[in-house]
Structure 1
């Protein structure tokens, strides 16, 4: 996503598709949503390692289709296919975090993962910018194919299979685990808390280029640089969160405090567009705030979900991914329907207020449900 979203305004110009170009991002989210439903049972049938390899192959096929697509429909189909493939690695990585321990231990483990997942996007928009400027935006899909090919080789060489492969009977077991998770109130509430946090973040990472470039006139290449600096901020704060915050502060306190920061950010962002004083010259620095906050809050929110899922970490991660991308695809689809002359930036700000506010509410509800079951829980 980070290699191509910066250039969506240019794609919109080339295809004369306007704000509906954001369906390219929605297509990826819908694919990730469907993919997480498939990945859970599949990883138990054939193992996580093989599932990840299959996922990378699907991503490469999607990239090949995207590079040859001559219209918006082909691009959306390609990104949907890539989303299905991308769900495999995402689900496997999150499931591991649930085995690290409870409370702060799990938060620290997943924050360590967040450091790396934040650091890689520093490179991706810059490499996408170089390829896109040198060879045209369709060539970015070949960059994606190369990245997935390298990752596939690394998985085959270095990753050990850790799943207990259940075979055909896993579907029945997975169904039982899903029912068990959904019957656990704190799990459901924490899933919703995490999903709304991710929807807040994807409103930034998936759609912000349209607001800043198309509406405010920022140069496309400059936006790619700003996005990369946002990834730097996310990496630094993920490290600070793991070192100084997660070991000392209870997870729910971290989430609620940072949700309040997100809401304040979103209110100002929406007001800037509504009041016609939005200007990319100063707002570009605001785009470092949200990823910095998310560098701390996302892994902590994820840890709460994986802790509440009990032993069903793979299933717990799969359902969490499904809900996360369901919400994210809805928000970007809404943005894609904004008609010409309407303000995408305005809607981004308003929806961020809603998503961050919902995260805050469900964090509180999850905390109450967990303390009712275990008064000694670290929450």
Structure 2
């Protein structure tokens, strides 16, 4: 099998079984967030806290996802891919059980943080596994294919969460997450082959994890891809945090239909990701990134205009949000693949840096949207426009500076 630096595009084990397993590993984050969204009011009522406090359980999860990746990424370069995944999944399962048994809101916040510390292992190491097995362009195509699997989570998770809420209360969501972790952990143990190359192992042994991250942060391309991907992904977190209040509270969409409307945007991300795979047969990831970021800025500008003028109301704002979020299907896989191509021997550390940037910018975007909250779509539009503009600037001034245009 080819080394990481060579990118073994023809590596064995690249069938649909691997796609589904890697997709499941990357689904810990959307499952952990989206599935219990319908339960937030019930959690608040049962534990005696208001809506603002229940949102802290979301913030705690995002913080854990951002922080934990800095451990698992470098560890996977140094120790191998499989062990860190299994350790993280085990922690996720235990913390999910703790969430299900939480006696107070404070305990739940702490358990959610630990749950995320474990759940982030799957996504960060799965991306490194992809880079171990594929070259630059094929890595981008494979990561786009994974959106087909992990993109189903935002569609199905709220629906499943609503059903579980009706059948067993809000605690049933966390028992289901524990079961999900057990299933994915078993599949990883018995089905995932070790893919870390000897070149990656030698590089990891020659430096500390902090030295590896420091070296990456000194590369303008790496910083550019991290900001471009993270700020683009921040639009998803903006929508996740604002959608219940906007759809149900402002526009009066019934709670029973929330999951379907919420899931439509996930369908846009999936569709864009699959179109991206076809475009990569003719264009490089960098060429697609230039066009996709420009498209995202235009869509965000139109959204800003619609939100502030009130033109078309919900029927103009929702389709424009759909277009803005669809840009993620083009940006996510290509920024990640291009970043991993900066130094494939540090694939785990790069994956950690990219993933942490995504969750950190997502948390900031969610906080900004909440701070601007005025009972309209304007805060969402402002945050998305700022995020998309920042993403495009980072891409052009840092990541792609000096590269050929489409």
Contact 2:65 2:120 (8 Å CA) reproduced: yes
* Equivalent residue for 1:250, pick from 254, 261, 284: 284
Aligned equivalent of 1:195: 230
Deviation at 1:137, TM superposition (A): 2.2
The equivalences for 1:114-125 within 5 A come to: 114-125=147-158
Question: Are 2:41 and 1:5 aligned?
Answer: no
Question: Are 2:373 and 1:355 aligned?
Answer: no
- Distance in 2 (CA, whole Å) between partners of 1:3 and 1:122 is 9
- Distance in 2 (CA, whole Å) between partners of 1:206 and 1:85 is 22
Deviation at 1:9, TM superposition (A): 5.3
Contact 1:97 1:306 (8 Å CA) reproduced: no
Question: Are 2:174 and 1:174 aligned?
Answer: no
Unaligned runs of 5+ in 2: 1-32
Aligned equivalent of 1:109: 142
Comparing both chains, which one has the higher relative contact order based on Cα–Cα distances under 8 Å and sequence gaps of 6 or more?
Answer: 1
Q: 1:64 to 1:171 in 2, by over 3 A?
A: farther
Aligned equivalent of 2:86: 53
Query: Residue by residue, what CA displacement relative to the aligned partner does 1:75-129 show, whole Å, maximum 9, x if unpaired?
Result: 3322211211121111111113334555533321221222222134433222112
SS in 1 for 2:149: helix
Unaligned runs of 5+ in 1: 372-376
The equivalences for 1:304-343 within 5 A come to: 304-337=338-371, 342-343=374-375
Q: 1:335 to 1:59 in 2, by over 3 A?
A: farther
Contact 1:198 1:298 (8 Å CA) reproduced: yes
Aligned equivalent of 1:209: 244
- Distance in 2 (CA, whole Å) between partners of 1:40 and 1:96 is 11
- Distance in 2 (CA, whole Å) between partners of 1:223 and 1:264 is 27
Deviation at 1:179, TM superposition (A): 2.9
The equivalences for 1:63-212 within 5 A come to: 63-69=96-102, 71-99=104-132, 103-163=136-196, 170=205, 172-212=207-247
Q: How many residues align?
A: 370
Cα RMSD after superposing both structures: 3.0
Comparing 219-228 and 248-257, the one that deviates more: 248-257
- Distance in 1 (CA, whole Å) between partners of 2:367 and 2:349 is 27
- Distance in 2 (CA, whole Å) between partners of 1:123 and 1:297 is 23
Deviation at 1:147, TM superposition (A): 1.0
Contact 2:269 2:327 (8 Å CA) reproduced: yes
The equivalences for 1:268-307 within 5 A come to: 268-275=302-309, 280=314, 283-286=317-320, 288-307=322-341
Q: 1:77 to 1:63 in 2, by over 3 A?
A: same
Aligned equivalent of 2:260: 225
